[in-house]
Amino acid sequence: MASLDRVKVLVLGDSGVGKSSLVHLLCQNQVLGNPSWTVGCSVDVRVQDYKEGTPEEKTYYIELWDVGGSVGCASSIKSTRAVFYNSVNGIMLVHDLTNKKSSQNLYRWSLEALNKDSSPTGVIVSNGSDYDREQFAENPVPLLLIGTKFDQIPENKRNEVLTRTAFLSEDFNAEEINLDCTNPRYLAAGTSNAVKLSRFFDKVIEKRYFTRDPSQMTGFTDRKRFNFKSLHYD
Amino acid sequence: MSFLVDSVIMFTSQVLFFGFGWLFFMRQLFKDYEIRQYVVQVVFSITFAFSCTMFELIIFEILGAMSSTSRYFHWKLNLYVILLVLIFVVPFYIGYFVVSNIRLLQRQKLLFACMVWFTFMYFFWKLGDPFPILSPKHGILSIEQLISRVGVIGVTLMALLSGFGAVNCPYTYMSYFLRNVTDSDILALERRLLQTMDMIVSKKKRIAMTRRQMYQRGEDQNKQTGFWGMIKSVTSTPPGSENLSLIQQEVDALEELSRQLFLETVDLQSTKERIEYSTTFKGKYFNFLGYFFSIYCVWKIFMATINIVFDRVGKTDPVTRGIEITVNWLGIQFDVKFWSQHISFILVGIIIVTSIRGLLITLTKFFYAISSSKSSNVIVLVLAQIMGMYFVSSVLLMRMSMPLEYRSIVTEVLGELQFNFYHRWFDVIFLVSALSSILFLYLAHKQAPEKQMSL
């Protein structure tokens, strides 16, 4: 049971966008009835069949680490959050489709998670032109962009919002999914969303277990302070 | 003619204050949210603008700018508008937005908002009963009724904030109270946190796998058709489910532990950062200020106690007092009228600026701490309400800091309120707030090192 291989995926995003509901939906296949603030980090596990339907099918555990908080919070909270960013194999960036600022903050979130070795307050990026698109093009960690509260956008604004998110997904070199976390039908088997999701998980598993390039082992430089022989994630 | 000029001046300054409030809202308060309801921003800026205008009128009073009739007119106008906003507009919108957030009551939003407003008015009116704030000459629908109640709420708020601030300020500034935190403490806590997360993860894996197996077995079981199959599925309980609820309980306990560990780690990190900051030049400066403020705080508590115990209400303001002392004791002769005007202008100006700035900073911090994308509108409106009441009462209390000749306009405009009562009430609440903050900080301070020792 516990001998299955595992991968670690971070779920990042502003406070209140729906990360806990999303994680609950992905792992329990149920809608979360009473969402409340996440203090610290909450983890849930999804059992995923890699390459389902083919002879190479194998089951993996996908750990979804839902890290709470906002980008603009105190540096003490940021440095404490950073312990969760160890040896991450994939990142899901979640934003609220009804709130533009939450998608703008995703640049800062991704840099905070990917640049752990920079100063504790992280690299502050105020708009898209300050960061390097090439950084994300050759980024070894697969990203997935998820927009929530899709049902709350009125019909006439949908195109505008979808164009905006298309730009975002280009910037991050990532696929995008737009859904409503309180309605399981967006991720029903056979929908394009479900296909994109399993493609993302497959990519994460592949990067972790099937491309044994030593320079890209974990995708991050390990934190020099930690010497985790006893808690090695391999 | 001069009345027109004065009105233009007032109007321009009001527009300026409105713009400042607008910018503050956009840049500081709502910088992480998208502003969708512009009504909220407008209401907030209006409250801010009219409150600042009141302060401006006090300054004009001291400086003698503008003719006194137009000053009086603008005072009255401003007061009516601000009372209108604080008692009708803001509470109504608070009720409206609270009702909008509740899904059940979407249909009759306006009706429910009006109901909420009537409840607010009822309690607001009842507030006046236990306090001896009115003399019998006032009718039931006079402006003094409203101001007196607003004054009570505002003065309570001011005293609470002052009391807590007076105690908290030296506590945060002085490095004497900083606990000793080393890097290894933090590392040890972080290691515990990650170990706990690992345990949670492994238990969740068991739960997920067991549920998956049950689901697959359930599929097989469902294949048993017919009458007998149905009976069998009812009586046999799957063996995994009792196990599952046990593991789920363990997971809940571990999650609670992980949250506590996270918060403790954040606490230690912030203490470490404060220790680092205290070694810098700025930190040392604040440390020194902290000692100064702690003396000031002790003196204020002492004075409040004396005022209450000896039933004393100060008759003269600090400016005239100071001038009397210098003239009588130090024998320095100078033009009393001239200097008293300028000194009171500076003193009152400092008080106004620091109280506005202090309040805005406190409100911003409070807003960041408790708001979320759903409740941000409601919270901003509540803050606007607090701000309005705070500013109205500070005008009321400021009367005490001004020399007699300037007090008259405030007395005239606000009507015959029992000003002494408000000062006494301020002293009482200040004392209560300061003492309970001392108690609270003492307990919090004591509890933390004990937690550390148990690591």
CA distance A231 to B429: 54
DSSP calls for B286-323: HHHHHHHHHHHHHHHHHHHHHHHHTT----S-HHHHHH
Band (pLDDT 50/70/90 cuts) for residue B126 is confident
CA distance A171 to A107: 9
pLDDT of residue B138: 53
Contact B270 A225 (CB under 8 A): no
What is the Cα B126 distance to its own chain's centre?
24
Best mutation site among B34, B198, B371 for testing chain A: the one with the most A CBs within 10 Å? B34
CA distance A78 to B270: 10
Band (pLDDT 50/70/90 cuts) for residue B343 is confident
**A133 to chain B nearest CA, in Å?**
24
Q: Which helix (H) or strand (E) holds B134?
A: none
CATH of the domain at A147: 3.40.50.300
Residue B329: pLDDT above 80?
Answer: no
Contact B255 A42 (CB under 8 A): yes
Instruction: Please report residues of B whose CB lies closer than 8 A to that of A84.
Output: 197
Where in chain B are the domains? Answer: 3-176+319-447
Using alpha carbons, list the distances in angstroms from residue B202 to A61, A209, B207.
10, 20, 9
Residue B297: pLDDT above 50?
Answer: yes
Residue A220 resides in a domain: no
Contact B372 A16 (CB under 8 A): yes
Which residue of A lies nearest to B193 if distances are taken between CA atoms? A83
Band (pLDDT 50/70/90 cuts) for residue B135 is low
Residue B212: pLDDT above 50?
Answer: yes
pLDDT of residue A218: 42
Residue B370: pLDDT above 50?
Answer: yes
Query: What residues contact residue B305 under an 8 Å CB cut-off, 6+ apart?
Result: B431
Residue A68 resides in a domain: yes
**Tell me, what DSSP letter sits at residue B133?**
-
Query: What residues contact residue A62 under an 8 Å CB cut-off, 6+ apart?
Result: A6, A7, A9, A45, A46, A47, A48, A201, A204
Count of structural domains within chain A: 1
At which residue do the structure tokens 């899709």 appear? A150
Greater pLDDT, B136 or B428: B428
Contact B373 A16 (CB under 8 A): yes
Contact A101 B33 (CB under 8 A): yes
Greater pLDDT, B200 or A71: B200
The pTM of the full predicted model, rounded to 2 decimals, is: 0.70
Average pLDDT over residues B347-372: 74
Contact B212 A47 (CB under 8 A): yes
Band (pLDDT 50/70/90 cuts) for residue B319 is low
At which residue do the structure tokens 């800091």 appear? B401
pLDDT of residue A225: 38
Residue A160 resides in a domain: yes
Q: What secondary structure, in 3-state letters, does A120-136 show? A: CCCCCCCCHHHCCHHHH
Q: What secondary structure, in 3-state letters, does A76-120 show? A: HHHHHHHHHHCCCCEEEEEEECCCHHHHHHHHHHHHHHHCCCCCC
Q: What is the pLDDT of residues A115-169, one digit of tens each?
A: 753 333 434 443 444 456 666 666 678 888 888 888 878 888 888 888 888 888 8
What's the CA angle centered on A125, arms A124 and A126, to 5 degrees? 115
pLDDT of residue A221: 42
Is residue B397 within 8 A of residue B426, CB to CB? The reply is yes
Which residue of B lies nearest to A85 if distances are taken between CA atoms? B194
Nearest-CB residue to B205 (from A41, A42, A45): A45
pLDDT of residue B408: 74
Q: Which residues of A touch B (CB under 8 A)?
A: 1-2, 4, 6, 14-16, 27, 37, 39-47, 61, 63, 70, 72, 74-77, 79-80, 83-84, 86, 96, 98-101, 105, 225, 231
Query: What residues contact residue B353 under an 8 Å CB cut-off, 6+ apart?
Result: none
Coil, strand, or helix at residue B416? coil
Instruction: Please report residues of A whose CB lies closer than 8 A to that of B201.
Output: 43, 45, 63
Average pLDDT over residues B137-144: 60
Contact A41 B273 (CB under 8 A): no
Contact B198 A231 (CB under 8 A): yes
Contact A101 B197 (CB under 8 A): no
Contact A61 B208 (CB under 8 A): yes
Residue A224: pLDDT above 60?
Answer: no
Best mutation site among B205, B255, B268 for testing chain A: the one with the most A CBs within 10 Å? B205
Band (pLDDT 50/70/90 cuts) for residue A222 is very low
**Tell me, what DSSP letter sits at residue B178?**
P
Residue A112 resides in a domain: yes
Tokens, residue B292: 């100064």
Tokens, residue B302: 């002492």
pLDDT of residue B247: 86
Range scoring the smallest mean pLDDT among B43-57, B226-240, B430-444: B226-240
Average pLDDT over residues A89-108: 85
- Strand-pairing partners, residue A144, are A92, A175
Q: What secondary structure, in 3-state letters, does chain A show? A: CCCCCEEEEEEEECCCCCHHHHHHHHHHCCCCCCCCCCCCEEEEEEEEEECCCCCCCEEEEEEEEEECCCCCCCHHHHHHHHHHHCCCCEEEEEEECCCHHHHHHHHHHHHHHHCCCCCCCCCCCCCHHHCCHHHHHCCCCCEEEEEECHHHCCHHHHHHHHHHHHHHHHHHCCEEEECCCCCHHHHCCCCHHHHHHHHHHHHHHHHHHCCCCHHHCCCCCCCCCCCCCCCCCC
Contact A100 B34 (CB under 8 A): yes
pLDDT of residue B415: 67
- Strand-pairing partners, residue A218, are none
Instruction: Please report residues of B whose CB lies closer than 8 A to that of A14.
Output: 32
Residue A227: pLDDT above 50?
Answer: no
Q: What is the pLDDT of residues A188-207, one digit of tens each?
A: 777 888 888 888 888 888 88
Is residue A16 within 8 A of residue B372, CB to CB? The reply is yes
Best mutation site among A41, A80, A101 for testing chain B: the one with the most B CBs within 10 Å? A80
Task: Write out the residue range of the structural domain in which residue A92 sits.
Answer: 6-116+136-210
What's the CA angle centered on B443, arms B438 and B445, to 5 degrees? 95
Best mutation site among A45, A153, A225 for testing chain B: the one with the most B CBs within 10 Å? A45
Percent of chain A scoring above 70 in pLDDT: 76
pLDDT of residue B162: 78
Residue A218 resides in a domain: no
pLDDT of residue B449: 59
Band (pLDDT 50/70/90 cuts) for residue A234 is very low
Instruction: Please report residues of A whose CB lies closer than 8 A to that of B26.
Output: none
Average pLDDT over residues B114-127: 83
Contact B204 A45 (CB under 8 A): yes
CA distance B42 to A27: 44
Instruction: Please report residues of B whose CB lies closer than 8 A to that of A86.
Output: 194
